[in-house]
Amino acid sequence: MLYICRVKNEFLKNWETQLKKGLLPYFVLKALDARERYGYELIQHLKDDFNTEVTESTMYPLLTRLQKEELLIYKWIEQPTGIPRKYYYISEEGRAHLAAMKNAINENFIK
Amino acid sequence: MLYICRVKNEFLKNWETQLKKGLLPYFVLKALDARERYGYELIQHLKDDFNTEVTESTMYPLLTRLQKEELLIYKWIEQPTGIPRKYYYISEEGRAHLAAMKNAINENFIK
DNA sequence: ATATAATACCTCGTATTGCATAGTACATCC
DNA sequence: GGATGTACTATGCAATACGAGGTATTATAT
């Protein structure tokens, strides 16, 4: 995640982990604000578009947490082939939270 | 911290706490890159200039951690009155880390 | 004079959460 | 049979913000 340099020392590696704890919920809400996605897809998306590598044991509990907080809604979508996908959508409350989070982040980074 | 809105629910409150885990070391290094400061002063500084409220039980262990990582150096400075102040200075390694952190953050927020 | 606030340093325990690891289950494709 | 896609769970560790508490000095208000 967060390409800092090829060789990362322990401190920077740990720092990135800690930073993720705050950024992941934001990234997920932001990604789902653009369009609905399923868990497995989100993992790929964060990797490709946010430079952020997340394991399944991080993503699935996170999605469940956000859904329990009512920031996300999910719907099982049957596929013509393969296992059904659990698509997540952002809720109105989720959008409000995302806006609040965006503000908080801008407050701290733009200036 | 991070003025989001007057009334914060549990989720946002908790999210801010998690976000701090990544941002605080960055803020501290950034603040000390500008000039030396002592712990108590840093708490005020983060509040005034970073919109970030931190308690003493967060700041003091953080400074100790950064100092043990050799990103900071400290010097006790006697005062004409009152308790001596423990002034912290950023080290060369600290400056390098700050640059790396800055890069990582820009990677994720500018795009 | 005395209380209290502010300044200045600190420690300990708890809760949160990413993540490593290790599973389960099923489908598809080569 | 093995790789990839898709969903999930459980356990335990590591890191850290924070509440609560402590100590000491000085300034201010009652």
Is the pLDDT confidence value at B75 over 70?
yes
Question: Choosing among A9, A17, A19, which should be mutated to test the B contact, i.e. which has the most B CBs within 10 A?
Answer: A19
Query: Would you state the pLDDT for residue A80?
Result: 87
Question: Choosing among B3, B4, B111, which should be mutated to test the A contact, i.e. which has the most A CBs within 10 A?
Answer: B4
SS3 (DSSP) at B89:
strand
Is the pLDDT confidence value at B83 over 80?
yes
Give dist(CA A69, CA A72) in Å, integer: 8
Q: Is the CB of B8 under 7 A from strand C?
A: no
Which chain B residue is nearest to residue A70, measuring alpha carbons?
A: B11
Give dist(CA A4, CA B69) in Å, integer: 18
Q: Which nucleotide is nearest to B60 (CA to C1')?
A: C10
Most confident of A1-5, B1-5, B29-33: B29-33
Q: Is the CB of B16 under 7 A from strand D?
A: yes
Q: Is the CB of A68 under 7 A from strand C?
A: no
Summarize the confidence of residues B17-39 as an average pLDDT: 96
What pairs with residue A89 in β-bridges? A73
Give dist(CA B78, CA B56) in Å, integer: 21
Query: Would you state the pLDDT for residue A27?
Result: 95
Is the pLDDT confidence value at A2 over 50?
no
B-side interface with A, Cβ within 8 Å?
2-5, 11-12, 15-16, 18-23, 25, 50-52, 69, 71, 97, 100-101, 103-105, 107-109
Nearest protein residue by Cα to C1' of nucleotide D19: B57
Give dist(CA B59, CA B40) in Å, integer: 8
Q: Which nucleotide is nearest to B40 (CA to C1')?
A: C8
> Quick check: A19 and B23 in contact, CB under 8 A?
yes
Taking CB atoms and an 8 Å cutoff, what residues of chain B touch A22? 15-16, 18-23
Strands (E), chain B: 37-38, 72-77, 85-90
Summarize the confidence of residues B51-56 as an average pLDDT: 93
Q: Cα dihedral angle (A96, A98, A104, A109), rounded to 10 degrees?
A: -150
A 10 A CB-CB count for A91 gives: 18
Is the pLDDT confidence value at B109 over 70?
no
Contact check, Cβ <8 Å, B104/A23: no
Name the pLDDT band for A1 (thresholds 50, 70, 90).
very low
Query: Would you state the pLDDT for residue A110?
Result: 46
3-state secondary structure B12-33: HHHHHHHHHHHHHHHHHHHHHH
Helix axes B10-34, A10-34, angle to 10 degrees: 130
What's this model's pTM, rounded to 2 decimal places? 0.89
Distance of residue B52 Cα from the nearest chain A Cα, in angstroms: 8
Is the pLDDT confidence value at A77 over 80?
yes
pLDDT tens readout for residues A22-75: 999 999 999 999 999 999 999 999 998 888 899 999 999 999 999 999 999 999
SS3 (DSSP) at B37:
strand
Q: Supply the DSSP symbol for A111.
A: -
Which residue among A2, A25, A108 sits closest to B51, beta carbon to beta carbon?
A108
Share of chain A above pLDDT 70, in %: 89
Is the pLDDT confidence value at B110 over 60?
no
Give dist(CA B61, CA B71) in Å, integer: 14
Query: Would you state the pLDDT for residue B8?
Result: 59
Mean pLDDT over the full length of chain B = 90
Is the pLDDT confidence value at B7 over 80?
no
